[in-house]
Structure formats: structure tokens, C-alpha cells
């Protein structure tokens, strides 16, 4: 790694992962780079997990979003995490969160960095920032790798910085990043991003070299994950989405090349993006957080002019494709801190088309993205709220059923609300589209049930709605008709019988 540490004086700080991990004390708050299983530190967390296994203590872990198994997985297995924020997807930590072993604070990603800077979080401050780097510059600044996440703010606020220089990450990543940390109130200035490709910051994370206490070399690769193949149901959903956007262009509400696209993470979001590849749209732009395979496909198909995000989140195949063609992709991709990629001000200014995935939606258009049956944490809100609340057009996608049809993704009342009906412009499933703009709740219910619900569940949902309407009309309380004793009956039936279907 010596060549990658360009500041000669800093080379004296190169130590083993074990030596660096030995610095971490029980109860410390650690802020790491990483957003999805990309660009997170690996060697120091693995060494820390080994130490915790022997010495039995806990730390608080603050990241950009989800990270790889070397962090959430290994540290959870040794019971080493007390507090975790702001997003996760690892099965081990999910179990620990849902059994009460880990205190998890699920946050809008755009505000997680400033919460660290404001001193709002447990422990109030970050003791140690651990950041993965492709290189360290002559000045001691840090060149990030496949994600930026919250690393710039964690470096800024931490007392001590540990840099993991990862030689599996190509040096060609240098130049892809645009690092900008806003000033805090009361002197905050406008964030000057006016197009997805506007460059506003530096290609490195500014860092006072005196803060860098240890540098560790590693070649452990990002543990990217495969995506589900785009099946027929997903294709239908993507087709419905494109038809809906076609209508917007025809109606003159959107330009011929649409507006900057944002799409969430996961199988549904990737499938949605796949719809654009064979569409008529050209010169598309993307202003999003995660850059998945679908975006590489759009670049390869010549459909995409530029993509701004905070993280590259390819599948293993996509990762190979990216590394092999990095010089081409680099011209069209920029990675920013998540505070900027997801920034409410910028999302509103650019007029982003926000396309996120729901776990379930209710007949009035409220969306649950985080808690299965209202109690089991899945991943977290991630950036979905940042984009949904500020988008030009806010769309939620979901397949109409889950778990082989035993769960209806459209329910009378969601068991938890992440996105209130006021921000939801449209719901798209493989069945169709409910355009909810300017529509009152009673009309919304009919649109969502008839256009989006699975035919198998439509009669049950309509029966609920009609009885709720009658009962609330009689009392003059029918703005949003509900039968409180039955509102969660689909969920109760699922818990009791294993299916939402009436047997």
C-alpha cells in the first residue's frame, strides 16, 4: 500500500489491522465509510470482532447505510454492537435488532450526517472514524472508493481517523467523487447543485493529516450481492411504470427525456430501472443514492447521459463489468456524500422522479417501507423518505402480493406508516397504476383496489371499504373510512392462519 499513501510522513502510521483495532475502547462510537456493501472498512472491523470475542465489550456503530458482513455481520456475531444507525440490511443484525440486543435508530439518510455534526446522537460524538480509501493524497486527504456515504462528516467530527487503504479498489476511482459538506445553521448556504452533473466540491475527503492515527492496508473486496432476475411480474410492473411516465410526457408535464430518475435499492427497484432500457427514452439522467446494475445497463444502451449517487451497488457481475470498463463509466457517474445525493433542497430543485419500494400500501395510499406486520424491522427507511417527500413525482412500487400470494401488499390499513398518503402521487404494481394526485381518500381507495391490488384480494378489500364507508357515513365521519376493529384484520389473519386469504 505504500505507493497509495502519497504523503511520505503518513507512511510511518501504517500498522496492522490488529494494532489499529486495539485503539478502540469499550463504549466508543465508531463512524465508518460505506453505503450498501460498498466502500466500507473491512480489515479493522474483522480484527475488532476478534478482540471483542475475547474481551467482551460493545461499541456504537454509525455508518452511511447498510454495509458488508465484515462490519454488521461479524460484530453482531460477537455481540459487539450496542447502538446502530442509520440503515442496515444484514440478516444477523436484523435478528439482533428484532430480539432487542441492538438498539437501532432508523433515520432518513439525508439527515444522518448532520445529526452527527449537531451532536444529536447517543454518545453525542464520534470517537473514531474508520474510512476505506483508494489512496491518501500528498496533503493527507482521503480518496474514497465505491461509496461516499457519511464519511466526510464522520472524518470532520471524529477525534481520530483510521484509514483502510484497499488495494482491491482500482486507483481509477480517483476523480469520481464530489465531496461537499454544508455549513451548519445559522450560516447554511444554498447547495449549488443545479443539474445531476454539477460538481460543487473536491475529489477527496478533506482531512487534517494530524488526525490520521493509523493506516491499515487490505485487499478484501466489497461483498456485493446478486440481484434476483427480472421475472415476468417485475417486467409487467416496469411496463406499467413506463406507460404512466409516457402519459406524463404526452400531457406536457415532463420533458421528452423525463426528469432525473431516482430508484431505491433491491430487486423491485432494479427491475423498475430495467424498464427504461428498452423504452424510447434517451438522454436520461439519474439523481439517486444507489447506482445498481440497471444504471450500467442504461449507460451501455446509450440511454443515460449522467448518474449522480452516493454508492455503487452492483451485483457480482455488475462489479466485474464496472471494474473492467471503469474509464467509460467514470465519465458518466459521480459519487457524492449522501447528505447531498439525497438532499431535500436539491431533490426539489432538480424535480426528481422518486421511485421507491413499499413493503405494503393501504387503500388510501399510506406506505410502510420498514416494519413487517408493524413490528419486525426489515431494513429501514433509507433514502426513500428523502426522495419521496421532495420529488417532482413520487411513485411507490410493489408487487401486489408477497410470499407466494399469502400476503397482499395492498391492505386496509398499513401496520406502520413511513410515507403518509399526502406525499404519494402514484402506486404501481404489476396489476396497474393508481394515479392519486389531487384525489380524495374515498376515490383513492377505489383506484388502489381496482388498479393495484391482486384480483384474489380485490373482493376482500372492496368489501372492507364499502362496509367502512357505510358505517362512517352514517356517523358523518367518512373522510377516510375505516372500521377500527377490522383495519388490521388482514395482518391478524396472516399471524393466525399463515395467509391473508380467507380460507
In three-state secondary structure terms, 167 is: coil
Q: Judged by CB under 6 A, which of 378, 439, 469, 492 binds ligand 0RQ?
A: 378
- Given 21, 24, 30, 65, the residue binding ligand 0RQ (CB under 6 A): 65
Strands (E) in 297-352, as ranges, are 304-309, 311-312, 333-335
Q: How far is the CB of 252 from ligand 0RQ (least distance, A)?
A: 29
Question: Does position 343 bind ligand 0RQ by CB under 6 A?
Answer: no
Q: Which is nearer to ligand 0RQ, 331 or 403 (CB)?
A: 403
Cα-Cα-Cα-Cα torsion 187, 190, 196, 197, nearest 10 degrees, comes to: -70
- Kindly indicate which of the ranges 145-153, 351-359, 437-445, 469-477 contains the residues binding ligand 0RQ, using the contact rule CB under 6 A: 351-359
14 among annotated binding-site residues: no
- The question of whether 456 is a catalytic residue gets the answer no
379 in contact with ligand 0RQ (CB under 6 A)? yes
Query: Is 266 known as a binding-site position?
Result: yes
Output the DSSP codes for 246-305.
HHHHHTTSS-TT-S-EEE-SSHHHHHHHHHHHTSS--SEEEE-SEE-HHHHHHHHTT-EE
State which of positions 32-51 bind ligand 0RQ (CB under 6 A). Answer: 36
How many residues does this entry show for the chain? 503
Choose which of 87, 214, 281, 464 interacts with ligand 0RQ (CB under 6 A). Answer: 87
State which of residues 201, 217, 260, 266 lies at the interface with ligand 0RQ (CB under 6 A).
266
Say whether residue 267 binds ligand 0RQ (CB under 6 A).
yes
Q: Is 166 in the site for ligand 0RQ (CB under 6 A)?
A: no
Question: Given candidates 56, 283, 320, 403, which one binds ligand 0RQ under the rule CB under 6 A?
Answer: 403
140-166 per-residue burial string, b: 16 or more CB within 10 A, e: under 16: bbbbbbbbbbbbbbbbbbbebbbbbbb
- Among the listed residues 248, 289, 338, 430, the single catalytic one is 289
Q: Which of residues 284-303 bind ligand 0RQ (CB under 6 A)?
A: 289-290
Q: Per CB under 6 A, does 126 bind ligand 0RQ? A: no
Window 383 to 402, contacts with ligand 0RQ (CB under 6 A): 383-384, 399, 402
Give the angle subtended at the CA of 442 by the CAs of 438 and 446, to the nearest 5°: 95
Instruction: Say whether 383 counts as a known binding-site residue.
Output: yes
- How far apart, in Å, are the Cα atoms of 448 and each of 368, 432, 435? 15, 9, 9
Q: How far is the CB of 237 from ligand 0RQ (least distance, A)?
A: 10
362 binds ligand 0RQ (CB under 6 A): no
Alpha-carbon span 83 to 62, nearest angstrom: 8
Closest CB 123 distance from ligand 0RQ, rounded Å:
23
First to last CA, the chain: 63
Strand partners, 252: none
C-alpha cell at 325: 470498463
Q: Which of 402, 414, 320 is nearest to 367 (CA)?
A: 414
| Ligand-binding site membership of 403 (annotated) | yes
Coil, helix or strand for 213? Answer: strand
Q: Is 433 annotated as a binding residue?
A: no
| 409 lies in the site for ligand 0RQ, by CB under 6 A | yes
Helix (H) or strand (E) holding 463: helix 458-475
CB 331 within 8 A of CB 144: no
**439-478 footprint of ligand 0RQ as x/- string (CB under 6 A):** ----------------------------------------
Reading the block at residue 19, the C-alpha cell is 494494532
Instruction: Provide the CA 78 distance to its chain's centre, in angstroms.
Output: 26
Does 211 appear as a known binding residue? Answer: no
Nearer to ligand 0RQ, 80 or 383 (CB): 383
Question: Among 414, 409, 401, 398, which residue's Cα sits nearest to residue 364?
Answer: 414
Q: Interface with ligand 0RQ by CB under 6 A: which residues?
A: 36, 65, 87, 109, 264-269, 289-290, 356-357, 359-360, 369, 372, 378-379, 381-384, 399, 402-403, 407, 409
Q: Which residues are annotated as a binding site for CoA?
A: 264-268, 359, 379, 383, 403
Which residues are annotated as part of the binding site?
A: 264-268, 359, 379, 383, 403
Amino acid at each position: 500500500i505504500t505507493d497509495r499513501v502519497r504523503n511520505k510522513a503518513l507512511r510511518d502510521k501504517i500498522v496492522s489491522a490488529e494494532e489499529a483495532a486495539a485503539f478502540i475502547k469499550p463504549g466508543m462510537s465508531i463512524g465508518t465509510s460505506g453505503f450498501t456493501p460498498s466502500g466500507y472498512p473491512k480489515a479493522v472491523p474483522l480484527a475488532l470482532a476478534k478482540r471483542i470475542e475475547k474481551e467482551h465489550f460493545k461499541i456504537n456503530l454509525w455508518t452511511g447505510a447498510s454495509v458488508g458482513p465484515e462490519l454488521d455481520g461479524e460484530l453482531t456475531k460477537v455481540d459487539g454492537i450496542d447502538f446502530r444507525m442509520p440503515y442496515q440490511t444484514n440478516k444477523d443484525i436484523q435478528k439482533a435488532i428484532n430480539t432487542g440486543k441492538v438498539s437501532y435508530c432508523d433515520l432518513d439518510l439525508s439527515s444522518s450526517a448532520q445529526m452527527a455534526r449537531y451532536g444529536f446522537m447517543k454518545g453525542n460524538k464520534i470517537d473514531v472514524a474508520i474510512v476505506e480509501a483508494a489512496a491518501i493524497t500528498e496533503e493527507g486527504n482521503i480518496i474514497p472508493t465505491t461509496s461516499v456515504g457519511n464519511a466526510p462528516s464522520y472524518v470532520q467530527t471524529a477525534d481520530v481517523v483510521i484509514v483502510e487503504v484497499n488495494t482491491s479498489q482500482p486507483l481509477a476511482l480517483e476523480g469520481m467523487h464530489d465531496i461537499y459538506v454544508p455549513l451548519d445553521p445559522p450560516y447554511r448556504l444554498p447547495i449549488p447543485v443545479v443539474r445531476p452533473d454539477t460538481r460543487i466540491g473536491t475529489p477527496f475527503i478533506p482531512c487534517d493529516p494530524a488526525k490520521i492515527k493509523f493506516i491499515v492496508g487490505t485487499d478484501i473486496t466489497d461483498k456485493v450481492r446478486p440481484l434476483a432476475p427480472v421475472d415476468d411480474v417485475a417486467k409487467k410492473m416496469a411496463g406499467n411504470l413506463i406507460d404512466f411516465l409516457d402519459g406524463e410526457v404526452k400531457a406536457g408535464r415532463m420533458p421528452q427525456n423525463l426528469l432525473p430518475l431516482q430508484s431505491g435499492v433491491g430487486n423491485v427497484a432494479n427491475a423498475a430501472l430495467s424498464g427504461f432500457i428498452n423504452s424510447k427514452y434517451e438522454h436520461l439522467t439519474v439523481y439517486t443514492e444507489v447506482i445498481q446494475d440497471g444504471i450500467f445497463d442504461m449507460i451501455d444502451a446509450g440511454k443515460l447521459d449522467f448518474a449522480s449517487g452516493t454508492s455503487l451497488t452492483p451485483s457480482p457481475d455488475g462489479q466485474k463489468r464496472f471494474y473492467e470498463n471503469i474509464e467509460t463509466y467514470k465519465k458518466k457517474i459521480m459519487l457524492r456524500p449522501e447528505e447531498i445525493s439525497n438532499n431535500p433542497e436539491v431533490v426539489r430543485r432538480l424535480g426528481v422522479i422518486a421511485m421507491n419500494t413499499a413493503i405494503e400500501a393501504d387503500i388510501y395510499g399510506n406506505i410502510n417501507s420498514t416494519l413487517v406486520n408493524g413490528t419486525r424491522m426489515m431494513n429501514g427507511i433509507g433514502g426513500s423518505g428523502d426522495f419521496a417527500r421532495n420529488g417532482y413525482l413520487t411513485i411507490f412500487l410493489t408487487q401486489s402480493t408477497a410470499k407466494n400470494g399469502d400476503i397482499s401488499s395492498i391492505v386496509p390499513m398499513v401496520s406502520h406508516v413511513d410515507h403518509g398518503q399526502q406525499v404519494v402521487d402514484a402506486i404501481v404494481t404489476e396489476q396497474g397504476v393508481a394515479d392519486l394526485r389531487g384525489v380524495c381518500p374515498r376515490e383513492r381507495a377505489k383506484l388502489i383496489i381496482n388498479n393495484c391490488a391482486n384480483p384474489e384480494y380485490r373482493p376482500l378489500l372492496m368489501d372492507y371499504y364499502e362496509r367502512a364507508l357505510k358505517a362512517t357515513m352514517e356517523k358523518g365521519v367518512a373522510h377516510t373510512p375505516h372500521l377500527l376493529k377490522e383495519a388490521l384484520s388482514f395482518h391478524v389473519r396472516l399471524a393466525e392462519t399463515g395467509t391473508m386469504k380467507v380460507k
